[in-house]
Amino acid sequence: MPYFTRPRNTAALRSGAQANRISSRRRPATGPGGRRVEMALVDGVGCWRRLPPAPLSFSGRRALFLDRDGVVVSEVGYLGRPEDVALIDGAGRAIAELNRAGVPVVLVTNQSGIARGYYDWTAFEAVQREIERRLGTQGAHLDAVLACGYHAEGLGALAVDHPWRKPGPGMLLDAAEQMGVDLASSWIAGDQARDLQAGRAAGLAGGLHVATGHGDAAQGRAARALASPAFQVTTATDLLSGVLALGMTPLGAPSC
């Protein structure tokens, strides 16, 4: 069953929100190679970010932005517990191939479960650590992670239609500003058309729609409709086959 716990009452959620903002504002973590990194709520409320450990630099390089639920991990509905994490087959290998090819991998995830009060940032961080632990067992790592906990139908201070929330491009633009990646040559992979909309709005080269998660035929059609001379769209059954087809790794075919 999906993890889906509603708060007992809105007042309790709001009273805990301040403590959550303080405790989650800045936490130490371990990045690729065991280097210490910082993960933090950059605005103290609903924008969370974990950047590459210094002194790594990705200036001028193309990146692959990834949605999380339904692309890297199985879609369970408001993933708020580490024990519910399950990597999608091939996702770890896809990310590991990108790592070996020197392509920055940036996770950008909407987390409306936080805005709705189903879990908090502490639970999100626990889930994220488990995802990255499991990726590590396959020789893969994420270079950066950005998450948006805002939603227009959220509670309290999180009830905001925020530009970080996809289909807005805010998380991608922030990652580019912080890491120096080249948006014009970068791609995004997602199971919903809104993921690709965010990529197009950020000026990416293209988007990969995958059929895992929510990636049904209707989402595929909506994703393909976003194609333009300035924004390529391709589809794949899953992340691994899509990454190989894009030619972003030595094992992949040349890009068209």
Q: Give yes or no: 182 in active site.
A: no
Torsion, Cα of 26, 164, 75, 24 (10° steps)? 10
Among the listed residues 251, 252, 202, the one whose alpha carbon sits nearest the alpha carbon of residue 230: 202
Q: How far apart are CA 97 and CA 240, in angstroms?
A: 9
Q: Give yes or no: 216 in active site.
A: no
Return the H-helix or E-strand segment holding 38: strand 36-41
For the chain, how many helices (H) and strands (E)? 8, 9
State residue 54 phi and psi, 5-degree precision: -65, 145
- Choose, from 67, 120, 143, 195, the residue flagged as catalytic: 67
- Choose, from 43, 69, 191, 216, the residue flagged as catalytic: 69
Instruction: Give me the residues paired with residue 30 across strands.
Output: 36
Show which residues are catalytic.
Answer: 67, 69
